[in-house]
Structure 1
Amino acid sequence: MASNLPLLLLGFCYVGLAESQLKLFDLRASNLPSNLLGTTDGYVKVFCGATTLGTTSIRPDNANPWWKEEFSYFKAQENEVLRLEVYDSDVIFDDLLGVCQRQLKMGTHEHDCYLDKGGTLHYTYTIG
Structure 2
Amino acid sequence: MASCISLSVGLLFLCMLAGIHGATVKIWGLHARGLVGDPTTHPDAYVKVSCGTISGGMTEFRRDEDDPSWRSQFTLEGVKAGTPLTLEVWDKDLNFDDHLGTCTIPLTYGTHTNKSCYVRTGGTLYYSYTYSY
TM beyond 0.5: yes
| Alignment partner of 1:49 out of 37, 52, 66 | 52
Q: Aligned to 2:88, what secondary structure does the other structure show?
A: strand
**Identity among equivalent pairs (%):** 37
| Alignment partner of 1:117 out of 96, 115, 121 | 121
1:122 alignment partner AA: Y
Q: Aligned to 2:50, what secondary structure does the other structure show?
A: strand
- What's 2:22 paired with? 19
| Count of residue pairs brought into register by the alignment | 123
Segments of 5+ residues of structure 2 without an aligned counterpart are none
TM-score w.r.t. length of structure 2: 0.81
Instruction: Give the whole-Å Cα distance in 2 for the aligned partners of 1:126 and 1:16.
Output: 17
Structure with more helix by fraction:
2
2:68 alignment partner AA: P
- What's 2:35 paired with? 32
Superposed CA deviations along residues 2-56 of structure 1, whole A, max 9, x for unmatched, are xx9xxx6x74644544522211000000000142341110000111111111010
TM-score w.r.t. length of structure 1: 0.84
Instruction: Give the whole-Å Cα distance in 2 for the aligned partners of 1:94 and 1:34.
Output: 10
1:4-15 to structure 2, matched below 5 A, reads 11=13, 13-15=16-18
